[in-house]
Amino acid sequence: MKKFFVLAISSVLLFGCAPGQREAELEGNVVVLDFAAAEQEISEYIYGHFAEHLGRGIYEGIWVGPDSDIPNVNGFRTDVIEALQKLNIPVLRWPGGCFADTYNWRNGIGPRDQRPTMVNTFWGGIVENNHFGTHEFFELCELLGAEAYVNVNVGSGSVREMIEWIEYMTADGDGPMAKLRRANGQEEPWDVKFLGIGNEMWGCGGQMTPETFSQIYRTYAHFARQYGGPEMIRIAAGGYGDHYNWNDVLLANAAPLMDGISIHYYTIPTGDWGNKSAATGFCDSLYFSSFRNAKLMETHVQRHIEILDTHDPDNRIGLYVAEWGIWTDQEPGSVPGFLYQQNSMRDALIASLHFDIFHKYAERIRGANIAQMVNVLQAMILTDGPRMLLTPTYHVFNMYQVHQNATKIPLTIQSEPFTINGESLPSITATASIKDGIVNIGVSNIHATEAREVVIDVSGGNLSQVANAIILTASAINSHNTFDNPNVVAPTEFAAYQLEGGKITITMPPHSIVKLKVN
């Protein structure tokens, strides 16, 4: 991850939080599902996660060590693992992020008490003991049932370093790296589903130009070959949201050597990296600007897909949103550089909005990784020593996991606007999919203060019963869970719906997410 200027906005949002001037809204919210056009499968990997050696994301958040007083299994804290297992996490990206481009994999193998330390120069300058390394990562993937997405060190590493790490992870037989892995206790090779080659090479990965990285990538990709099992999906380090030229140049020079190309994009509530605003201390205006900036994800995705279509008309190369989420100021009193932030009802809606976008463009988007899994940025889980809580974002991942590997049902939306200070956004966003004869529909009302009645036209699907309905909402846009009150924002049963004449009518409170299971 790297700071990058995104969008200049008005001084009232940057330096003040005056109440927004809400204007008269139009009437009518209608979502129409096109069952006849349901063909494209939604990749499960869109629901991927990201665990970087950053702050308390891994150490304390996931790994406490086998001698910890916190209940654990082989060093992995039990409460966190059990909560993450319920999300059906399909893939986990590791070890970074910016950290990946200073990481030497050899320092993270062998007896833990003999592993050399290093300074985490990007994140707080703390000393990393390397107790969580390659073996621990694959054990974590096994515990979670997740595929491995390994990001190799291009910024300060070498091709030889990458070759030997791939051999260590995936080789059978009597080669030197396979022997070393066995000596360290792992007899069988692991499968590496995804290999990220580079990370933010335009920034923390080396301050490169796209022309320079294109040639470097070609060399790394040429030697990136898995020794056993299916071939790895090689993902080239693409640009930030609006780095369209970066991906254009990289694809022009190296498309035949990649299976995917990444983009990163973070929602900055103010649009100003130097003054991102507090995670929970915001009013209507900052709430609105958060969604305006979040919706730029769709603009960036559309443009990067157009570039892909030019260089890869056969749709072979996937687009991977390798880092996404809301990035606010870290919590007062937390360790500088640890990126620990609270997680509110607003952030849950930002997550549902992103899934709606990713599903919409599922023809090209083959994966995405929320930043990050525990205790960092838009996390699923927050910990405080032995205590743990689930965030509103966790609940969205849990509600929406039904869309993994389901068939997308295209839809059209007519929405009343959410208007503040002369700017408007649609207040309703939605997604739908079908799998094994079950239709799952997610609808979000991002309006800060107004309820919305939404008519969902399912007449093309021959549906007769709403089998289950749940809602995620809270009393305020900045409501959040705390260690003393961990269920302020939590899903509950939803009853404000009616199915009649091929239409489901739902009444949604402000800032709410509804998930319907329909037979």
What sign does the CA torsion over 183, 135, 168, 53 have? Answer: negative
Residue 18 predicted with pLDDT over 90: no
Write out pLDDT tens, residues 168-185. 999 999 999 999 999 999
pLDDT tens across 297-341, in order? 999 999 999 999 999 999 999 999 999 999 999 999 999 999 999
**Residue 231 binned pLDDT confidence (cut-offs 50, 70, 90):** confident
128 is annotated as an active-site residue? no
Q: Encoding tokens for residue 275?
A: 């003054």
- Residue 492's identity, in one-letter code, is T
Does 198 have pLDDT greater than 60? Answer: yes
CB atoms within 10 A of CB 114: 8
Name the more confident of 11 and 82: 82
Angle at 407 between CA 401 and CA 410, to 5 degrees: 105
More confident residue, 11 or 147: 147
Residue of 44, 136, 167, 323 with catalytic role: 323
Confidence at residue 21, expressed as pLDDT on a 0 to 100 scale: 45
Residue 26 binned pLDDT confidence (cut-offs 50, 70, 90): very low
How does residue 47 score in pLDDT terms, banded at 50, 70 and 90? very high
DSSP type of residue 199: S
Pairing relationship of beta strands 497-500 and 76-77 according to DSSP bridges? unpaired
Distance between alpha carbon 72 and the CA centroid of its chain, in Å?
Answer: 26
pLDDT digits (tens, 9 = 90+) for 200-219: 999 999 999 999 999 999 99
Please tell me which residue, 228 or 312, carries the higher pLDDT value: 312
Which contacts (CB < 8 Å, 24+ apart) does range 291-294 have? 291/349, 291/350, 291/353, 291/418, 291/425, 291/446, 292/423, 292/425, 293/6, 293/7, 293/267, 293/268, 293/269, 294/267, 294/326, 294/350, 294/353, 294/354
List, in sequence order, the alpha helices (H) in 46-157: 78-85, 134-144
Question: Given this model, what pLDDT does residue 27 score?
Answer: 65
Render pLDDT for 256-295 as a digit per residue (tens, 0 to 9).
999 999 999 999 999 999 999 999 999 999 999 999 999 9
The residue assigned the tokens 């409170």 is 509
Judged against a pLDDT cut of 60, whether residue 446 lies above it is answered with yes
Q: How far apart are CA 59 and CA 52, in angstroms?
A: 10
Percent of the chain exceeding pLDDT 90 equals: 93
Mean pLDDT in residue range 244-265: 98
For residue 1, pLDDT beyond 90: no
For the cut 60, the answer to whether the pLDDT of residue 8 exceeds it is: no
Q: What is the DSSP string of 278-339?
A: -SS---HHHHHHHHHHHTHHHHHHHHHHHHHHHH-TT--SEEEEEEEEE--PPPTTSPTTS-
Asked if pLDDT for residue 51 goes beyond 50, the answer is yes
Q: Does the pLDDT at position 352 exceed 60?
A: yes
d(CA 49, CA 372) in angstroms, rounded, equals 7
Is 450 one of the annotated active-site residues of the chain?
Answer: no
| Nearest-angstrom CA–CA distance, 387 and 82 | 14
Stretch 443-456: mean pLDDT, rounded?
Answer: 98
**Within a 10 A sphere around the Cβ of 86, how many other Cβ atoms?**
12
User: What is the rounded average pLDDT of the residues 71-96?
Assistant: 98
Name the active-site residue from 41, 200, 493, 500: 200
